[in-house]
Structure 1
Amino acid sequence: MPSAASASVACCPDTSRSDRRAADHAGATNRESDDNISTFAPTMISNISDTTAAARPLTSDMISFTATVVRAPTSGNTRPSTSSGDVWTPKPSDIPPPGRRRRRFTLHRKDTQEEEENCQHHKKVALLHQSRPFSEIKIESTVERMSSELSKNGYMYSRGSFESDPTLMDRRNRYSSATNRGSRVRAWSRALSVSHDSDRDASTIAAMVTATPDTVWNTFLKTVGNFADEPALSGREFQTNVNFSWAQHAVRVRCVARAFSQLGFCTGDGVIVTAQMSPLLQAVNLATVSLGGVVSHVRSSWSARELRDEIFPIAKATIVVVDTLKDNFREALEALDDQPDDLRPSVRAVVVLGGFDATDRAVASLHASINVIGAEDLVAINSLATNEAAMTPSIESLACSVMPDQCCFLGFDYDALGRVRAAELSHDNVLFTAAALVRSFGLNIRDRLVGYLPLHHVASQILEFYVPLVAGLSVVCAPTYDRPLVRVVTDHKPTVFFATPATWTRFSEQVYRAKGDVNAAIYRWAKIRATNNSQKLLFARGKGAKHRSLGYMLAKALVLNNIKKKVGLESCTACYSLLAPLDFELERLFKTVDTPIYQLFGTAETCGFAAINFPHAWEFGSSGRALPGTTIRCDERSQETVLRGRNVFMGYRYAPNSDNYDGSDQFTSSNNSDGWLRLRQRAFLTPTGFLRLSDPRDFLVLSTGDWVPVHPFEFAMKELMPELDRAVLVGDGRTFLSALFFLKTSTGTSRIVAGNNKHASGRQLDEDALQVGHAIGSPATTVGEAIRCQQWAVHFDWVLEKLPQVCCVSGSRVRKWILMAADFSVESGELDPDTGDVCRRAVDRKYQALLDSLYS
C-alpha cells in the first residue's frame, strides 16, 4: 500500500456507464492491486501541513487531479526514467505483437475462455506499449496537502499545470502502484493527451509569457519580430478588401498611438469602445493598451443614465470609439456638460469607425463641446504633426513604463443587486490566459480565426485580440464584409471556430438542411461512424489519424465532408462553445456530422476562461478541467466553487458615487486572503476532474452569453404587482427572459395544495389579488378562473411593458410570462430545503415542456 503522501486513486471514464460505475471500477482496480488491503475506504492519512492535526479517512473529496505536460522522448525506443511505482514498464520480450484474429468459416467453432482472455490481454499490452513520439498530459490523482483551515471540511480539486511547474517535475512520470499493468484505468490515463504541433517560435512566446509576466506591448513586439511577414488581419476597410501582415499592423498601431497622444491621452486614461471587430479596431485596442491606458468594450444597450453616471466615471474615459453614434451615447455625451467639474469625465474626442456617412451624421447630431474624428482622420492625424520624429521616443517611453500587474482593460456588467461594476484585468491576467489557451489548443501561425463575437464579453476579447497576439495566427474580421456569418465562414475556411450557443443554433439549421440532401439510411450509418470516431479521439493519445477506422474514412469521404462543406466548417480542426452552456441536443447533433463541439467556461473575473474542454481531454456535458496553471476547488456538500490562479482579476471598480466606492476604485471579491475567487454558479467536480455546473446562484446566463442578475427583476415585478405571492425569472440557456407568476391565495388552501396541480386551480384568491382583479374588471375568484381570464392577461402584459422603467437592469427585457396554478414547495422539489430558495435547474427540468412552449 502506498504511503499517505503518495496515495492516489485512478478513475476510468466509460462513456457507456455513469460516473458512479467508473469510480467503482477504479476502486476495484486498487483492491486487486494490493492483497494486503481488503477495502479501499478505511485508508488513513495525516494532514501534511499541520502535524498536530488528527488523522482522517482518505475520501474522494481529498483527491487532487493534476495535469502535467510531459515532453516526448528523443527516440522512439527510449522512454522516460521510471521508478519502482511507475506503470510504464518495458514490453516483455515473450509477448507476441498483436495480430488480427484469423476468421474461419466454421459453423461449430467455439473459442475457449482462456484463448479470449489471452487475446484481449495481448491487445491491451500492445496498445499501452506503443511508441509515444508526442507530448502528452498525464492525469495524476494525488492527495491534496490540505491546510489546517481545510482539514475540517473536505474539498475536491481540479488543477491544471504546465510542464515548467517545478512542484510537479519530480512526480510527472509517477503513477500509483495500485494500478495494474494492462488495465483500462492506465489506458485512460495515457489517453488524455494532446499534441502541441505549434511552430517553435509561437510556442516560445507562449512559454515565455507563462513563465515570466510581461506586458501586452512587449509581447506584441516579439510576435512582430518573429512573424513580420505572416498574415495578421483581413477584412474590408474604406470599401476595399485589405490584408495586413504583422509588420504592417505594427505600423498602424504606432500611427493610432501617436494620434491618441496628440489628443492628450495619458497613462491610466480610459477608452470606451462599442464597435464590431475590424482591422482598425485591432489597432485602436492595442494602441490604448500600449500607452498604459485602459480599454473598455461595452454593449450598445446601456442606458444614457448608466453611461453618464456609471460607465464614463468608472472607466475615466477620455476617448469614445463607436461604429455609429447611437442616441443613448449621444444623450450621455451631451449631458456631460451639465455635470459638476469634479464628477465630469474629461471626454476629449469621439472616434467614428463606420465611414464617412456615419461620421457626418455624428457631427450633425452631437451638440457638445467634443471633437468628432472619423476613421480616415485617425489614421492620417499623425501626418499633421510638425515634429513626428520627436514623438516616437515618448511613445516608446510610455510603453516601457507599463508594468505587467497594471490594469489594461475593464469588463462591465451588473452585480447580484443590479449595480454597475467593472472587473479590472491586468496585462498578466490577459497574457497568461491567452498563452494557456494557445498551448492547450495547439494554435500556431497557420491557423485562421473568424472574429465576430460580441466584444463586450471578456472571453471574446481574449480570443480575438490576445490569442492571435501570442500564437501569431490571422484574424478574419467578419462584420466588415456585410455578409451572413455562414457565408464568411464558408469563404475564409477557419481552422478553429468559437461560437455562442445561439450561434450554434443558427448553424444547426444549416446542418439540418444538409442532412436532408442525404439518404436517411446512409446518414444513419455515417452518423454512427462519426460518433464512434469522436469517442476514439479521447483515447487516441494525440494520434487520432492512426486510429481512424475504414468505415469512418468512407463515411467521411462520402457523406460527412459534404455536410461540413455546406456548413462551412470543413477546415476546422476543433470547434468550441463559450459564454453559455451548450444544449445537449446541439452537442449530439454536431458530433453526428463529425464536428464535435468542446465547451469552455469562465466569467469576467476569471479573464473569460476558468475550465476548458479540448480534443483528447473532454467529457460530455461538462465545462472542462481547470485552465492549465490554475486550481478549482469544490465543496461537495454545499457545491461552493472557488478558483485560484493568474487568470483571477484584480478587483472591482464602482462609480465614485456608489456605496461600494472605497477611495481606491477597487473592491476585491476574493473569498479569503489566499486569493480564492468565489464563482457565481454552484458546481461540482466529476471523479475525472471535470467541472459541471449544477444550479445558477444569483444570475441567469442567456444563450447569447449575457449574465442577468435575478434579484432586480423579481423584486421589481413584485413591487409592480402586489397581488403576486412569488415571481420567478426563467431563461437560463434561452435567448430571452420569461417569468412565472404565482397569485396570492388564502392561507388555508395554499398549504394543502402547494405543489399539487390536481387541486391547485381551485384555490381561492387572496384579498390583494381580488382587489386587483376588481380594478381590472376581472370576475375571477380562483386561480383557475384567473388563468382563463382575459383581463388578467392584459394586466400582466401591461406590467411587463412598464417593467424596464422600474428595473435598474438595462439591455434585457422579460418578454413572456406564465401564470402558474400550483405554488412551489420543498416537497415537490422546486425549493431548497435549507434556504428556501428556488432551485432553478429543478424548475427547468420539471417544467421543460411548459417552458419550451414559450420559446418555440
Structure 2
Amino acid sequence: MSASPHHQTEFLNGPDQLIPCNVLKTWDPKGAVKLGIGNEGVSAHPPISVPSFLKRSADKYPNVTALAVKRNGVWREITFKNYYEQVRTLAKAFIKLGLKQFHAVCILGFNSPEWFISNLAAIFAGGVSVGVYTTNSPEACAHCARSSKAQIWVVEDQKQLDKILKIRGNLPYLSTIIQYLGTPTVEGVLSWEEVMDLGRQQPDTELEEKLRRIAINQCCTLIFSSGTTGLPKGVMLSHDNLTWTAHANSINIDLVTGNESVISFLPLSHVAAQMADLYICMYLGGTCYFAQPDALKGTLGTTLKEIRPTVLVGVPRVWEKMYEKITEAENKNKGIKKSLITWARSIGLAAHDHNQLQNFRKPLGFPVANALVFKKAKKALGLDRCKVFISAAAPISPDIVQYFHSLNITLTEVYGTSESTGPHTIGLSKTFRAGSCGITPPGFKTRIVNVDKDGNGEIYLGGRNIAMGYLNLKEETNEAIDDEGWLHTGDIGCLDEHGFLYITGRIKEIVITAGGENIAPVPIEDAVKAELPCISNCMLIGDKRKFLSMLLTLKTEMDLDTGEPLDALAPAALEWCRGVGSQAQTVQEVLLLSDDLTTAIHEGIERVNKSAISNAQRIQKWVILPKDFSIPGGELGPTMKMKRHVVLQKHGDVIEKFYA
C-alpha cells in the first residue's frame, strides 16, 4: 500500500505539481499520496506547496512585519519580503552544503526567526524539516536524526551543540552543524552569518531546479511524537497537510488578514505551535513575536503586556499559571472591591452560559462589570486586544476554563494530533460548550466508532489534514490510518446532538481491573484535582488489579533554571493547607501527614468516590509522592502530557505496596 510507484519517473513541474497516485497513505520517505480534494467548499480549495505559500504572502504583504524577536533589549523585525529572501538564501546554502532530496535538516533550539527560516529553507531545498524538542536527551536526538537521514543540524547555542557533539559519531548522514546564536567555539561548526554568506554567493539556478522537483503530495516535514507511549515515531506531513490546514483554520476562526499577532513560545517541534505560529501567521500576513527563552519560567507575562497579541494559544499549564497569579492577587482584595469582583464574575459566568450555542448574551449589569472589572483584568494580563483564547495539547480542568469565562475571557479547547496536522475540532468564542473540544469545522470529518451504551467510542478523523503515515513504519501506519484515509486516534470520546466533541479517555490508557471493568482514568483524575486544588498531578492505578489506587503530587515551586520541582509548596497548595488547618510549608512537612491533612485529602477523594458509577471505580488507596512530575524527571513530555509508562516504572515499588 506504500505509494512509491514513481521513483524512476522524474516530475519537474514543481513546486505546485501533484504526483499521480491512488493511495491515501505511505511510510516511504519518497512516497506520494492521493489528496482528498472535495467538490465544494473549503475541502475543494486548490492545493499549494509550502514555497508558493510563503511566496504568495511575500507578494501580498511585502512590507508587513512577519517575524519579530527581542535581542539585547531591542525588537528586531523582519518583513514578509525579507523573510522570503532569507529563506531562499539559506536554502541555497543548504544545497551547497550537500542537502539531498528527502534528507532532513534537524533544528534544535528555542523559537526564533532562525528556527522558522531553517525549517522553511529545508523544504525549499527539497529536503525535510525536523523540529527536535530542546528537552531531548542526546540519545533521543540521535533517534530523530538517524530515522530522518539528517545531513544538517541547526542548533541554538553551545548547550544544544554539546548534545550533537556527543552523538556525532553515531550519525552516518551528518555533514554540517550550524549554530545560530553566539560564535561557535568548535572547529567545523558554522555560524549563522557564515551560512547566510555562503547562500548569498550561490546563483539561483540550483534552487530553482530543486523547487521544480517538489510535489504538493509528498512529505516536507516530520513531526516526531514526544514519546509518551514509547519510542518517538516520525509523522510525515505533506505540503498540502500544512497549507490546507492553515487555510481551513484561518477561515473557520474568522481571523483578519494583515492584522493578527501571536507570541511564539510553545515547542516548535510540536505541530500545534508550527500550525499557529508559522503557517496560520504566514497565511494571514500576521506577525509572529518570539517570546524570551525563559517564557514559561516567568517572562511570558511581561511579553504579553508588551505585545498585546490578538491570538493566544497555550497548553493547560500556561492557563493554570495565569489562573494562580490572578487568584493570588484577587485574594488580597477586601471589602467593596472584593464584593465588586465577585459580583462581576457572576455576571461573566451568566454571559458565558455553558448551554448556549450562539454568541453569548449579555445579562443585566454586563456593561458595568465589563468597564469596572473585565477590561481592567484583560489589560493587566496583556489580553485587551486578544480575541482568540485557546488551550491545546492536553486536557484542561473545567474549573480553570470556568474561571476565565467569569472574567469574560472565552477560553476554549481544541482537539487534534500530530497525525491530524494539529487542530481538528475547535471551540470558538461564538460557539462553545464547556468541557468539549468544540465542533468539527467545514472540510474536516469526525466520527465515533464501536460506540458503547454511554455513547463513547473511538474517535476517527478524516480530511486533507490527515498525515501521510509514519516514516519507515509500515505496520504502525496501517494500524493508525485505514485504506479509506481515516485516522484511528486511539482516543475515546463522544459527540453530542450539536456535534460538540468530548474526550473521555484513551484506549491505551484505559484501566481494566482484575474484575474486567474498563475505566477511563482522566475523568477521575480531573475530578480529584478539582476537589483538591493543592494537587498538581495524579495518576490512577488499577490495571489488572483488584481495586483502584492513586499517586498524588503537590503543587510546588520550580527551579527556573532547570525546570526541576522544588520542595517548597506553591501558593495554591499553601492556601489549601492553611484552609484545612495545616502550617506546612514544604512537601516534606506534608509527608509527615498531620491528621488535618490526611482527613482533608481523604474527604476530597471520598467526594470524588460518591460520583463513581460502580464500586470498582472508587479510589481505595492513595499516596503523596515526595516530588512533583516534571519534564527533567521524565514523567512529563514537552507539552506537559503525562508519560504513564515512565511513572509506572519510577514508582513501581510504591504501587506494589498498595497491593501487598
State the TM-score, normalized to the length of structure 2.
Answer: 0.70
* AA of the residue aligned to 1:652: Y
CA distance in 2, matches of 1:277, 1:822: 43
| 8 Å CA contact retained: 1:590, 1:597 | yes
* AA of the residue aligned to 1:464: D
CA distance in 2, matches of 1:533, 1:729: 32
**CA offsets per residue over residues 428-483 of structure 1, 9 Å max, x none?**
00111111111111122111111111122111111111111111110111126977
2:220 pairs with one of 392, 395, 408 = 408
Aligned to 2:498: 688
Matches within 5 A, 1:94-133: none
CA distance in 1, matches of 2:466, 2:63: 35
| 8 Å CA contact retained: 1:236, 1:480 | no
* AA of the residue aligned to 1:282: F
CA distance in 2, matches of 1:743, 1:548: 47
Three-state SS of the structure 2 residue aligned to 1:680 is: strand
* AA of the residue aligned to 1:394: E
Aligned to 2:324: 509
Aligned to 2:300: 485
Deviation at 1:403, TM superposition (A): 0.9
Aligned to 2:262: 449
| 8 Å CA contact retained: 1:669, 1:677 | no
Deviation at 1:576, TM superposition (A): 0.5
Deviation at 1:804, TM superposition (A): 9.1
Aligned to 1:202: none
**CA offsets per residue over residues 276-323 of structure 1, 9 Å max, x none?**
111222211111112221111121333333433x22121110111121
Structure 1 residues 634 and 354 mapped into 2: Cα distance closer, same or farther (>3 Å)? same
| 8 Å CA contact retained: 2:38, 2:44 | no
Q: Does 1:347 align with 2:174?
A: yes
Matches within 5 A, 1:584-595: 584-595=398-409
Three-state SS of the structure 1 residue aligned to 2:204 is: helix
Q: Does 1:437 align with 2:437?
A: no
CA distance in 2, matches of 1:741, 1:641: 24
| 8 Å CA contact retained: 1:652, 1:669 | no
Matches within 5 A, 1:253-652: 253-308=87-142, 310-326=143-159, 330=162, 333-337=165-169, 344-356=171-183, 359-360=184-185, 363=186, 371-383=188-200, 385=201, 388=202, 391-413=203-225, 418-443=230-255, 444-479=257-292, 484-515=299-330, 516-517=332-333, 519-535=337-353, 548=362, 551-635=365-449, 636-637=451-452, 639-652=457-470
Deviation at 1:605, TM superposition (A): 0.8
CA distance in 1, matches of 2:149, 2:177: 14
Structure 1 residues 311 and 520 mapped into 2: Cα distance closer, same or farther (>3 Å)? same
Aligned to 2:7: none
Three-state SS of the structure 1 residue aligned to 2:233 is: strand
| 8 Å CA contact retained: 2:246, 2:283 | yes
CA distance in 2, matches of 1:256, 1:607: 25
* AA of the residue aligned to 1:690: F
Structure 1 residues 492 and 739 mapped into 2: Cα distance closer, same or farther (>3 Å)? closer
* AA of the residue aligned to 1:257: A
Deviation at 1:227, TM superposition (A): 0.7
Structure 1 residues 620 and 311 mapped into 2: Cα distance closer, same or farther (>3 Å)? same
1:679 pairs with one of 489, 502, 509 = 489
CA distance in 2, matches of 1:819, 1:644: 40
Matches within 5 A, 1:802-821: 814=647, 819=655
| 8 Å CA contact retained: 2:525, 2:538 | no
Deviation at 1:266, TM superposition (A): 2.5
Deviation at 1:560, TM superposition (A): 1.3
**CA offsets per residue over residues 550-579 of structure 1, 9 Å max, x none?**
621111111111111112211111201100
CA distance in 2, matches of 1:632, 1:672: 14
Deviation at 1:510, TM superposition (A): 2.8
Deviation at 1:811, TM superposition (A): 10
| 8 Å CA contact retained: 2:358, 2:431 | no
Three-state SS of the structure 2 residue aligned to 1:519 is: helix
Structure 1 residues 301 and 631 mapped into 2: Cα distance closer, same or farther (>3 Å)? same
Three-state SS of the structure 2 residue aligned to 1:667 is: helix
Deviation at 1:584, TM superposition (A): 0.6
Structure 1 residues 697 and 373 mapped into 2: Cα distance closer, same or farther (>3 Å)? same
Deviation at 1:667, TM superposition (A): 3.4
Three-state SS of the structure 1 residue aligned to 2:225 is: strand
State the TM-score, normalized to the length of structure 1.
Answer: 0.55
Structure 1 residues 537 and 218 mapped into 2: Cα distance closer, same or farther (>3 Å)? farther
CA distance in 1, matches of 2:354, 2:197: 55
**CA offsets per residue over residues 133-160 of structure 1, 9 Å max, x none?**
xxxxxxxxxxxxxxxxxxxxxxxxxxxx
* AA of the residue aligned to 1:484: T
Structure 1 residues 608 and 741 mapped into 2: Cα distance closer, same or farther (>3 Å)? closer
* AA of the residue aligned to 1:321: V
Deviation at 1:421, TM superposition (A): 1.5
* AA of the residue aligned to 1:272: C
Matches within 5 A, 1:92-171: 166=39
Aligned to 1:14: none
CA distance in 2, matches of 1:210, 1:276: 36
* AA of the residue aligned to 2:251: R
* AA of the residue aligned to 1:642: Y
Structure 2 unaligned residues grouped into runs of 5+: 1-35, 513-519, 530-534, 551-621
Deviation at 1:610, TM superposition (A): 1.9
CA distance in 2, matches of 1:618, 1:332: 45
Three-state SS of the structure 2 residue aligned to 1:521 is: helix
CA distance in 2, matches of 1:423, 1:820: 36
Deviation at 1:743, TM superposition (A): 13
CA distance in 2, matches of 1:223, 1:292: 20
**CA offsets per residue over residues 688-713 of structure 1, 9 Å max, x none?**
1111111222259xxxxxxxxx99xx
CA distance in 1, matches of 2:248, 2:231: 32
CA distance in 1, matches of 2:540, 2:358: 47
* AA of the residue aligned to 2:375: N
1:215 pairs with one of 44, 49, 55 = 49
Three-state SS of the structure 2 residue aligned to 1:679 is: strand
Matches within 5 A, 1:783-794: none
Structure 1 residues 407 and 586 mapped into 2: Cα distance closer, same or farther (>3 Å)? same
CA distance in 1, matches of 2:490, 2:543: 30
CA distance in 2, matches of 1:312, 1:552: 55
* AA of the residue aligned to 2:291: A
Structure 1 residues 820 and 312 mapped into 2: Cα distance closer, same or farther (>3 Å)? closer
Three-state SS of the structure 2 residue aligned to 1:640 is: strand
**CA offsets per residue over residues 577-619 of structure 1, 9 Å max, x none?**
1001111110011011111101001111111122111122211
Structure 1 unaligned residues grouped into runs of 5+: 1-161, 169-206, 365-370, 655-659, 701-709, 712-727, 745-749, 758-792, 825-856
Three-state SS of the structure 2 residue aligned to 1:698 is: helix
| 8 Å CA contact retained: 1:426, 1:650 | yes
Deviation at 1:405, TM superposition (A): 0.7
- Alignment identity in percent? 23
Deviation at 1:623, TM superposition (A): 1.0
* AA of the residue aligned to 1:629: G
| 8 Å CA contact retained: 1:671, 1:678 | yes
Aligned to 1:231: 65
**CA offsets per residue over residues 372-400 of structure 1, 9 Å max, x none?**
112232333335x3xx3xx2132123223
Aligned to 1:747: none
Structure 1 residues 355 and 631 mapped into 2: Cα distance closer, same or farther (>3 Å)? same
Three-state SS of the structure 2 residue aligned to 1:479 is: coil
CA distance in 2, matches of 1:739, 1:609: 26
